[in-house]
């Protein structure tokens, strides 16, 4: 009996690996699901040791841009609809791709399929290119014989997710650009302008006002000890990164972000949109609701939402449905839970998740505009205070010098 190696997600959201005996791959999948595990990677050891695949070195760290994955998925959908054989479709797309990494990966995927592996098993060898969510959706399409339809749904999902990420980036770029310009301007004044003004002020022999002394001190610090700032910031960044790598740290950080007035609302709406988009795509691809919830919980970035979703999964496994545990979590908007309840009661859960995704996509656009509108006056106000302080620090001693001259 063949031996199958597997990687799966347990009910607690942890990744687990192992091996098992099974008559075929479908039997191995059934065994994993009967144990409450969500299969991520399942492959026969003989396939894994195929000489053709072993001859090529593993390159699991290779990555491609999200846009390239979206285009590949659209192309796969088109060629599969044209009834072109899978290996030939991969060869055509590979030859037309502008990305060297994607060409290499698709060549290896095609070789693995020719060697007897499924498309999902071949793709899972390249996690930097095909994420687990993508691979599991492709697996469902292969097992159901509807790979072309699944690729169309994946393309739509990736397109929507790409647009959502673009909205999030646009909300962050503008405030970040203004802050960077302000910091550079102030640094230029402190390092290059203040030393010349300081010499003039000191030669006048007057007692400098407090704002001027503070500005001179800041300029001296940047000139003599400014090199310590990158070191301190680097240390703080490393400490923050370590803290966020812990489960408790990530949870507390996201709870803090979600409590902020404008940013918190924005984060909540983005999170709900991503959950709805992913659930709709997985359900439309034939993934069972509980498995879809666990996959979403395992891949969501917000630690608060992740913890809530795993608790929902436990309750769903006990037969409580989906909408009620979602409402009891006190994390998701009331509109979201109510729409899920309607979809669950009407038997149109996947269609309702799609509607939620569309509705909240519009909400994210409005939230993006509101966030930028709120941040702009705050940043301008802070910059105005800084500029006023600098002007005062320079003007006060100059006024005294004028009085002394008269």
* HEC assignment per residue over 17-76: EEEEECCCHHHHHHHHHHCCCEEEEEEEHHHHCCHHHHCCCCCCCCCCCHHHHHHHHHHH
Token output for 280 = 């709709």
248's enclosing H/E stretch is: helix 247-259
Residue entry with tokens 């240390």: 235
Q: Are strands 15-21 and 3-9 parallel, antiparallel or unpaired?
A: antiparallel
pLDDT of residue 404: 61
10 Å CB burial of residue 121 (0-12, 13-18, 19+) is buried
CA atoms within 13 A on the CB side of 209: 15
Which pLDDT value is given to residue 237? 94
Distance between CA atoms of residues 117 and 334, nearest Å: 45
Report CA-CA distances (Å) from 50 to 16, 111, 115, 325.
24, 10, 7, 46
- Is residue 322 within 8 A of residue 340, CB to CB? The reply is yes
Rounded CA-CA distance 28/35 in Å is 11
The encoded tokens of residue 332 equal 């998701």
- Measured CA distances, 183 to 198, 214, 219 (Å): 21, 17, 13
The residues near 122 (Cβ < 8 Å, ≥ 6 apart) are 108, 109, 110, 112, 113
Distance CA 283, CA 36 (A): 18
Residue-level pLDDT at 23: 67
Residue ranges, the chain, pLDDT below 50: 46-59
CB count within 10 Å of CB 395 equals 13
Nearest to 174 by CA among 385, 362, 377: 377
What residue spans define the domains of the chain? 1-49, 165-406
Q: How far apart are CA 75 and CA 405, in angstroms?
A: 79
Smallest CA-to-CA distance from 92 within 81, 107, 105 is with: 107
The CATH architecture annotation of domain 165-406 reads: Up-down Bundle (1.20)
Report the pLDDT value the prediction gives residue 54, as an integer from 0 to 100.
40
């Amino acid at each position: 009996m063949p031996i199958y190696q597997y990687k799966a997600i347990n009910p607690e959201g942890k990744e687990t690996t192992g091996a098992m005996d099974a008559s075929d791959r479908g039997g191995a999948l059934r065994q994993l699901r009967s144990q409450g595990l969500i299969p991520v990677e399942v492959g026969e050891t003989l396939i894994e040791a195929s000489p053709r695949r072993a001859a090529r070195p593993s390159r699991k760290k290779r990555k491609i841009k999200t846009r390239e994955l979206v285009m590949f998925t659209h192309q796969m959908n088109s060629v599969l609809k044209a009834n072109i054989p899978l290996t030939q479709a991969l060869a055509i797309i590979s030859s037309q791709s502008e990305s060297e990494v994607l060409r290499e990966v698709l060549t290896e995927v095609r070789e693995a399929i020719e060697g007897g592996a499924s498309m999902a098993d071949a793709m899972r060898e390249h996690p930097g290119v095909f994420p687990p969510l993508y691979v599991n959706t492709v697996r469902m399409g292969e097992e159901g014989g509807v790979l072309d339809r699944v690729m169309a749904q994946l393309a739509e999902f990736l397109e929507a997710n790409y647009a959502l990420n673009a909205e999030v980036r646009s909300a962050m770029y503008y405030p970040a650009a203004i802050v960077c310009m302000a910091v550079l301007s102030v640094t230029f004044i402190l390092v290059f302008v203040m030393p010349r003004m300081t010499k003039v002020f000191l030669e006048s022999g007057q007692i400098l006002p407090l704002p001027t002394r503070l500005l001179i001190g800041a300029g001296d610090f940047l000139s003599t000890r400014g090199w310590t700032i990158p070191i301190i910031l680097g240390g703080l960044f490393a400490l923050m990164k370590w803290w966020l790598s812990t489960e408790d740290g990530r949870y507390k950080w996201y709870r803090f972000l979600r409590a902020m007035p404008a940013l918190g609302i924005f984060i909540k709406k983005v999170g709900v949109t991503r959950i709805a988009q992913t659930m709709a795509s997985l359900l439309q691809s034939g993934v069972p609701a509980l498995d879809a919830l666990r996959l979403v919980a395992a891949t969501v970035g917000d630690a608060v939402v992740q913890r809530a979703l795993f608790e929902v999964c436990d309750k769903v496994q006990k037969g409580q449905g989906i909408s009620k545990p979602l409402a009891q979590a006190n994390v998701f908007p009331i509109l979201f839970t109510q729409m899920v309840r309607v979809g669950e009661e009407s038997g149109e859960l996947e269609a309702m998740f799609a509607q939620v995704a569309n509705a909240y996509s519009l909400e994210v656009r409005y939230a993006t505009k509101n966030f930028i509108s709120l941040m702009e006056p705050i940043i301008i106000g802070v910059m105005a205070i800084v500029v006023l302080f600098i002007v005062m620090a320079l003007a006060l001693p100059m006024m005294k010098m004028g009085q002394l001259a008269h």
